[in-house]
Amino acid sequence: MKPKLPTKLLYGGDYNPEQWPESVWLEDVRLMRAAGVNMISLGIFSWAKLQPTEKRWDFGWLDRGMDLLAKNNISVCLATATASPPPWLSTKYPEVLPVTADGVTLQIGSRQQYSPSSRVYQKFAAALVRKIAARYRRHPALAAWHINNEYACHLQECHGADSTRAFRDWLRTKYRALAALNAAWGTAFWSQAYGAWDEVLTPRRAPYHSNPTQCLDFKRFTSDAFLALHRMEAAILRAATPAIPLTTNFMGFFKPLDYRAWAPEIDFVAWDSYPDPVDEKAARHAGAVGHDLMRSLKPDRPFVLMEQATSAVNWRPVNLPKRPGIMRLQSLQVLARGGDGVMFFQWRASIAGAEKFHSGLVQHVPAAASRVFAEVKALGAELKKLAPVAGSLVHNRVALAFDWHAWWAVELESKPGRIDYAAWAQALHRWFYEHNIGVDFVHPGSSLAAYDLVVAPALYLLPAKSAVNLTAFVARGGTLLATYFSGIVDEHEHVVPGGYPALLREVLGLWVEEWAPYPEGRKNGVRFGGRKVTCDHWCDLLHLEGAQALANYTGDFFAGRPAVTRHSHGRGAAYYLGTRLDAAGLDLLLGRVVREAKVAPVLRTPAGVEATVRESTKHRFLFLLNHTDKATKVSLGGYRGRELLTGKIASRSLLLPPLGVTVIQIP
Ligand code: GLA
């Protein structure tokens, strides 16, 4: 039996009724209905309430909550409640508590205080999930499972006894023989050779740089350790309820977890997005690029935004509210980029605890007097009008090669310079975003058949198979843009010698002899065609082997040498960017690359107007989002159809009000 995926646009949020007297629940469901809420995530932090002592269970309150929601036609994404173990667990079994690299044991009183490799935690979590699954498997309100919550959000690694044992087991499975581990970790260096498995530790605080391959393997292990927990819960739920889809909430560009390895283990992608309202311009791209990364994990179905804030959060030093219109705009951006759900943390703002100043759909003030609730209600009504969008997909012709292993490796210590991998990928994505050219995120070793252009920033760690894949993509007629510090090391983080990036030399038609990473603030110039632009951060010193120079450095001891190149290979072309160009330079380069790849924007719009398209078998949906405070006229090109929010026919052009959105259904 296949899980039944959600088929409508979901609207709602985390609901924590255990924080409130049951009399408040009646007002909750009344307001949920008034707001058009159709799904809530229930009981995420309710373990202590469900199991107040090791031997005692209390499901009465949850039974009543589930029944009340079912009676009111509100579906439940039911939590497995394993994210915050109750105090009794670690009081009796202190070994569940996580340990930092410095050997500090993290204590109770907050949340997520468990080691992912703790056998005791696993046993008790499994028992809890079994109980919940058995009790609610046939409940009419149950529509999906919400496993744990934001795995690894606060607790990103553990060095305790169980984790050390599990790390050794993981290494044994990977390397089989200790000799293979010694070879992979390069332990001939600094007298690090291991003579017995028991000598191998997690990378704890050490006098100087730890072994980089050990650190890289520990990151891989940690992602797998959390994934093993997820799998454990998922197996219980699948056995109990094969038709109920399950998910866990991801966090976008979250480094500790290789979400690409996780994606096959969930039925739909759910994620949490909290761009800072302080910088709205940055926030609009932060939302978009996060949606693109998350959507790409399961491109054949819409994702769900599981959490965002209606207004302020509580966890930044200064927490600005979202001004009127921003919450709506950001919510409709979710739909624009392939999401079918707009959910929030949390339904009702708490009055006690660390998150009492985090906004909710229902604030501390009466709903009837609340600006935020008025916007929530209005958005709920609009989502009903947008119902036809549900299930439609996003199809793009540009891919951005992005790999968690490359991310982990390039940001390990003792590198020539500092590369912020996610920021570099996002900076390149931003150009496409601002030009209304849709981008998917892919693994460099995955099928690239759907794409005309692949952008591959800083693939420092590049397995040979991925290099072959990128080369074949170009040979078949694709356009590739690779950047500095790519293809430097293999999976073990060993340099591939012979002129960097050895495995991409053929396709790029060049090799890199040296590099000059620049300190913050230092700049060089680049002559690009007839123009002079600036560059910073990094300068590769290239030798051409068939590639043609498009731009040359103007300063430093390598003035005159190439900075940007193009090489024909097979039926396609490979570009190389050896430095970080300023905005004008990036425009020159990407403008040319996009022309060569024959990739066109969805629509050319005035600055600040985002345009995207979703497609179903019957329709296309053009989304236009005006992120500016000015009424803006947009020419529609050939697009013509019905505006879903107003019912009006749109053709030729339309005027978007400040922060305005339209969705045009095109037959
Ligand atoms: C995360 C968590 C929620 C809540 C919000 C606050 O996303 O999943 O439980 O703490 O942050 O923004």
Instruction: Say which DSSP state 638 is in.
Output: E
Domain boundary at 340, 364, 389, which?
389
> Which residues of the chain are modeled with pLDDT < 50?
none
Let me know if residue 5 belongs to a domain: no
Domain boundary at 332, 360, 389, which?
389
Shared domain check, 560 and 464: yes
Active site residues: 150, 307
Tell me how far the alpha carbon of residue 599 lies from the centroid of ligand 1, in angstroms.
38
**Domain ranges, residue 14:** 10-88+112-151+226-389
Residue closest via CA to ligand 1's atom 4 equals 345
CATH number at residue 629: 2.60.40.1180
Q: Indicate if ligand 1 lies below 6 Å from the C-beta of 270.
A: no
Let me know if residue 189 belongs to a domain: no
Residue recorded with tokens 């499975």:
173
Q: What is the pLDDT of residue 667?
A: 94
Residue recorded with tokens 């219109």:
325
Candidate of 112, 306, 307 to mutate for ligand 1, largest count of ligand atoms within 8 Å of Cβ: 307
Give the DSSP H/E element, type plus range, for residue 114. Answer: none
Tell me how far the alpha carbon of residue 563 is from its chain's centroid.
31
The residue among 430, 488, 418 whose CA lies nearest residue 455 is: 430
Shared domain check, 330 and 372: yes
Is the bond leading into 346 cis (omega within 30 degrees of zero)?
yes
Beta pairing partners, 625: 610, 661
Q: Indicate if ligand 1 lies below 6 Å from the C-beta of 540.
A: no
Return the ligand 1 atom nearest residue 149 CA.
8
Let me know if residue 473 belongs to a domain: yes
Tell me how far the alpha carbon of residue 5 lies from the centroid of ligand 1, in angstroms.
24
Residue closest via CA to ligand 1's atom 9 equals 345
List Cβ neighbours of 93 (8 Å cut-off, separation of 6 or more).
120
E-assigned strands of 47-194?
Answer: 75-79, 142-146
Q: Indicate if ligand 1 lies below 6 Å from the C-beta of 358.
A: yes
The residue among 36, 660, 81 whose CA lies nearest residue 361 is: 36
Q: Indicate if ligand 1 lies below 6 Å from the C-beta of 272.
A: yes
CATH number at residue 444: 3.40.50.880
Q: What is the pLDDT of residue 1?
A: 85
Task: Measure the CA–CA gap between 175 and 198, rounded to whole angstroms.
Answer: 15
Q: What is the pLDDT of residue 549?
A: 98
Shared domain check, 405 and 378: no
Shared domain check, 495 and 588: yes
Shared domain check, 511 and 422: yes
Q: What is the pTM of this model?
A: 0.98
Give the DSSP H/E element, type plus range, for residue 467. Answer: helix 464-475
Tokens for 315?
A: 């966890």
Q: How many domains does the chain have?
A: 3
Return the ligand 1 atom nearest residue 274 CA.
12
Start-to-end C-alpha separation, the chain: 34
Let me know if residue 220 belongs to a domain: no
Task: Measure the CA–CA gap between 241 and 569, rounded to whole angstroms.
Answer: 52
Residue closest via CA to ligand 1's atom 11 equals 345
Q: Indicate if ligand 1 lies below 6 Å from the C-beta of 149.
A: yes
Tell me how far the alpha carbon of residue 272 lies from the centroid of ligand 1, in angstroms.
8
Shared domain check, 349 and 314: yes
Instruction: Say which DSSP state 342 is in.
Output: E
Tokens for 16?
A: 């924590």
Let me know if residue 462 belongs to a domain: yes
Shared domain check, 403 and 274: no
Task: Measure the CA–CA gap between 441 and 268, rounded to whole angstroms.
Answer: 17
Let me know if residue 182 belongs to a domain: no
Tell me how far the alpha carbon of residue 84 lies from the centroid of ligand 1, in angstroms.
13
CA angle 253, 254, 258 (to 5 degrees): 100
Let me know if residue 168 belongs to a domain: no
Residue closest via CA to ligand 1's atom 2 equals 150
Domain boundary at 357, 389, 421, which?
389
Let me know if residue 319 belongs to a domain: yes
Shared domain check, 462 and 319: no
Shared domain check, 507 and 402: yes
Q: Indicate if ligand 1 lies below 6 Å from the C-beta of 360.
A: no
Contact 487, 445 (CB under 8 A): no
Contact 551, 592 (CB under 8 A): no
Relative orientation angle of helices 119-136 and 212-240, to the nearest 10 degrees? 30
Candidate of 355, 356, 357 to mutate for ligand 1, largest count of ligand atoms within 8 Å of Cβ: 355
Shared domain check, 303 and 405: no
The residue among 82, 67, 83, 81 whose CA lies nearest residue 142 is: 67
Tell me how far the alpha carbon of residue 46 lies from the centroid of ligand 1, in angstroms.
14
Tell me how far the alpha carbon of residue 346 lies from the centroid of ligand 1, in angstroms.
8
Shared domain check, 366 and 477: no
Tell me how far the alpha carbon of residue 575 lies from the centroid of ligand 1, in angstroms.
41
Shared domain check, 504 and 428: yes
Task: Measure the CA–CA gap between 314 and 47, rounded to whole angstroms.
Answer: 23
Kindly list the distances between the CA atom of residue 188 and the CA atoms of 191, 193, 495, 581, in Å, as whole numbers in the listed order.
6, 6, 15, 40
